[in-house]
Structure formats: structure tokens, C-alpha cells
Amino acid sequence: MDHHRDEEQNIIVRKPGTPGQEQVPAVALHGHIDMVCKIAPGFALDFSPQGVKLIVDGHRIRTEGTTLGADNGLGISCILALRDSTDIPHPPLECVMTAIEEMARSVVPVLTRHCCRASG
């Protein structure tokens, strides 16, 4: 797959359309991969040298005293699942994963710099 990571750690991955969908206009999927580090009151953790402690509870994953870190984890998970799929028909995909959601750097410069082919 065609991919690019820029100096700001934004990532674009292109996946061709499945058979019969190759000439359909590309679809852009976007999610952000930055972390929101929140700690529960009374819980001590320094995110710099330590990671979160994962707790696997059946089919659920949670943490002790913190968020999982990525507040767009579901969006990124869906993008990666479709990117890795071999049995879901789709048009050409442009998977855009930006590193900083809340700051002035927006997805538009990323798309412009790397010539997003999706329209609309």
C-alpha cells in the first residue's frame, strides 16, 4: 500500500479499490491519533516514563485509573480494520490519520501537501 508520514507525524495510507471498484472516486477516511492523557483523582501516574496498565476483561480492554489515551480510538480502529480487510468491497481509500486534533494544524494542509485524491 502507498503510504506517507510527514514531519508532524501525520499519516496517509492509500489502498486501491477492490475488483470492480477501482475506477470509483476515492473515499477519504479521517481520524486523529493524538493522546488525551487523563488520570482519575487520587491515582498517581506520570505518562512520560510510564504507560497505561491495560486490564483485559472478557472482550473489553480498559485501564486502571486513566483513559486509554486515544479519544478517537474507535475511528482509527475502523480505518485500520477496513485497510486490512480482504473481504469488504470498497472504492479506493485514502486513510488520513492526523497527529494533532486540537491545535491550529488542521487536516487541510496535510491533504493539500500530499495530494489527497478523494473528492468532496
Per-residue buried b or exposed e for 80-99, using 16+ beta carbons within 10 Å of the residue's own CB: eeebeeeeeebbbbbbbbbb
CA distance 115 to 12: 10
Tell me, yes or no, whether 30 and 20 share the same domain.
Answer: yes
> One of 34, 46, 57, 64 is an active-site residue; which one?
34
Q: Is 102 a catalytic residue?
A: no
pLDDT, tens digit (0-9, with 9 covering 90-100), for 62-77: 888 887 655 677 788 8
Q: Which stretch of DSSP H or E encloses residue 97?
A: strand 93-98
Tell me, yes or no, whether 64 and 81 share the same domain.
Answer: no
Tell me, yes or no, whether 13 and 57 share the same domain.
Answer: no
Percent of residues, the chain, with pLDDT higher than 90? 17
Tell me, yes or no, whether 18 and 76 share the same domain.
Answer: yes
Q: Quote the domain boundaries for residue 52.
A: 36-69
pLDDT for the residue 115: 54
pLDDT for the residue 110: 57
Tell me, yes or no, whether 30 and 78 share the same domain.
Answer: yes
Q: Is 6 a catalytic residue?
A: no
pLDDT for the residue 104: 40
Tell me, yes or no, whether 119 and 87 share the same domain.
Answer: yes
pTM: 0.66
27 closest CA partner among 107, 83, 93, 120: 93
pLDDT for the residue 99: 81
